[in-house]
Structure formats: structure tokens, C-alpha cells
Amino acid sequence: MTGYLGADPKIIEKDGKTFLALSLATTDSYPAEEKDGETVWRDRETVWHDVVIFRKVTIQFARELKKGDRAQITGEIAYRPFITAEGYTRRAATIIAGFVEKIHYEKQEKLDLSAAADAAFASHS
């Protein structure tokens, strides 16, 4: 999946293991209409993904990522159960990344997208 980091990645040490955690925002688009011979695309809702990285090589690279960076994550989905305040059991999904790649783009676009990530992350928190 490809998306934008909502915050700087965090190094976490737990039970003698070190891993990196990050939050990645993705937004799908769809063709909404034709206007003057051009397809007009609309964005769907932004979805936030919890991502963890355990591989040392990937952690070293991912530590260089910063809030607002665009990244491509490859991995698998793991589900963990949790209990809601009302006592219901639910499942939360986490992406366990095996590969992370920073997607480079022009500086001005990066600044604009970072502001969008700020706004989306604020509404997610």
C-alpha cells in the first residue's frame, strides 16, 4: 500500500524486542465524471493503518521517514482481538511490514501533502 505518514515513526522496545511503529494514511480515488473530455477523480474517505516493522534492515531505513513523507509498504495483515469499553470483542488490523520504500516527489507537493496529512491525522486522533 502507498500512503502518507501521519507522524514520525516511533521506536518501541517491549519484552526484549525492538520494533518500529508508524501510522500510514491511504485514500482511494474513483472516476466521478467526465468534464471537457477529462476524467474528474474524487477521493474516498482517508483510512489510517497501524504499521509495525520488526526486520532490523527495514527498521534502519524506516527510521529516516518523517511525518508527511509518502511511503510504499509491503507486508502482511495481522489481526489482534481487543475488548471495547462496552465489553464487546473486536479485532484490530495491523500491517507487519517487510519492506518500506520512501516515494520521492517535488518539494512543493510534499509541503502541500504534509499539511493535508496533518489535518487528516488530527481528525483521526
Query: pLDDT tens for residues 61-112?
Result: 888 999 999 999 999 999 999 999 999 999 999 999 999 999 987 654 444 4
User: Is residue 112 classed as helix, strand or coil in its secondary structure?
Assistant: helix
Q: Which of 88, 104, 89 is nearest to 2 (CA)?
A: 104
Q: How confident is the model at residue 116 (pLDDT cuts 50, 70, 90)?
A: low
* pLDDT for position 111: 44
Q: Which residue has the cell 483521526?
A: 124
The fold of 2-30+43-124 is OB fold (Dihydrolipoamide Acetyltransferase, E2P) (2.40.50)
Q: How confident is the model at residue 32 (pLDDT cuts 50, 70, 90)?
A: confident
* pLDDT for position 109: 46
